[in-house]
């Protein structure tokens, strides 16, 4: 992740944490229905931010480790985290964990902020045990290349830490490259208030005016939720 990511999320950490608090119940219910965890899993949340996913997972599993590069976001998460959640500063492209360390590895709304999402997925696969479950959640770009270019132009204008919002076909390619087996997927549509969405990114002044001119007329965003399994056996 870049300095732009640290700057953008450091400046808006409190606002992001408040936003995730409002969505906490909905997030927890979706995790429960999609993952159906046994309760004994050791889970990792990559790009945890203010801990939204990690905190929602906490009642469903034995323990959760969340990692992020932004200290301000981690500080907000620690204010809210229960005892079985540990939040650490670490890089998603070089996870400081041994192969096969986790039963469940997740990332939510993170991949479009990294220059090399394929490395993040490869690292998540490495630290996931054979037979373990991976959850990937991110905004989806349209399948139409021109529409995808327009969406990405808006998202970068709104938030300079955005690298590229991937399409469903791109994400599935990353999963296939790591031999992950797709068990379930859903597309969740979110109706957005443009002003609130710009506020959440700390987008003001001339940058805000430019982002407004680039905003899609359809205020509904699509998020892909993918549940995958890592097959095979880890070598000892």
Of 172, 178, 181, the C-alpha closest to 229 is 181
The CATH code for residues 3-142+163-196+220-229 is: 3.40.50.150
CB contact set of 120 (below 8 Å; sequence gap of 6+): 46, 47, 92, 93, 107, 110, 111, 114
Query: What mean pLDDT is predicted for residues 186-203?
Result: 91
Query: What mean pLDDT is predicted for residues 87-116?
Result: 97
Q: What is the pLDDT of residue 236?
A: 39
- The sign one gets for the Cα dihedral 55, 82, 99, 163 is positive
| pLDDT at residue 8 tops 90 | no
Q: What is the pLDDT of residue 26?
A: 82
> pTM (2 decimals)?
0.90
Note the pLDDT tens digit of each residue in 129-141: 999 999 999 999 9
Query: What mean pLDDT is predicted for residues 46-54?
Result: 93
Gap between the Cα atoms of 35 and 228, Å rounded:
10
Q: How confident is the model at residue 5 (pLDDT cuts 50, 70, 90)?
A: low
Helix or strand holding residue 85 (H, E)? strand 85-89
Q: When comparing pLDDT for 11 and 187, which is higher?
A: 187
In the chain, domain spans? 3-142+163-196+220-229
Bridging pattern class, strands 63-68 and 42-46: parallel
| % of the chain at pLDDT higher than 90 | 76
Q: What is the pLDDT of residue 1?
A: 47
Beta carbons of 214 and 150 less than 8 angstroms apart? yes
Other beta carbons less than 10 A from residue 50's beta carbon: 31
| pLDDT at residue 29 tops 60 | yes
Q: When comparing pLDDT for 14 and 182, which is higher?
A: 182
Q: What is the pLDDT of residue 132?
A: 97
Tally the C-alpha atoms within 13 A of residue 56's C-alpha that lie toward its C-beta.
26
- 204, with CB counted inside 10 A (0-12, 13-18, 19+), is exposed
Note the pLDDT tens digit of each residue in 53-75: 999 999 999 999 999 998 988 99
| pLDDT at residue 20 tops 70 | no
Helix or strand holding residue 225 (H, E)? strand 220-229
- State the chain's mean pLDDT as an integer: 91
Q: How confident is the model at residue 200 (pLDDT cuts 50, 70, 90)?
A: confident
């Amino acid at each position: 992740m870049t300095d732009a990511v640290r700057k953008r999320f450091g400046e808006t950490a409190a606002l992001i944490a408040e936003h995730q608090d409002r969505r906490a119940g909905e997030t927890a219910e979706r995790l429960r229905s999609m993952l159906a965890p046994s309760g004994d899993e050791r889970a990792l949340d990559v790009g945890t931010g203010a801990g939204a996913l990690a905190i929602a997972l906490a009642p469903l599993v034995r323990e959760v480790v969340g990692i992020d590069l932004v200290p301000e976001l981690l500080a907000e998460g620690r204010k809210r985290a229960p005892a079985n959640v540990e939040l650490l500063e670490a890089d998603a492209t070089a996870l400081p964990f041994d192969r096969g360390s986790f039963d469940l590895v997740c990332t939510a709304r993170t991949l479009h902020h990294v220059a090399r999402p394929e490395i993040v997925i490869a690292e998540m696969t490495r630290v996931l045990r054979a037979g373990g479950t991976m959850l990937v959640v991110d905004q989806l770009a349209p399948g139409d290349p021109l529409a995808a270019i327009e969406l990405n132009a808006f998202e970068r204008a709104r938030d300079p830490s955005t690298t590229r919002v991937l399409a469903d076909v791109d994400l599935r390619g990353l999963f296939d490259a790591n031999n992950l087996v797709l068990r379930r997927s859903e597309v969740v549509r979110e109706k957005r208030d443009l002003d609130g969405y710009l506020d959440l990114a700390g987008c003001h002044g001339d940058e805000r005016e430019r982002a407004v001119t680039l905003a899609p007329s359809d205020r509904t965003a699509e998020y892909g939720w993918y549940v995958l399994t890592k097959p095979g056996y880890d070598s000892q």
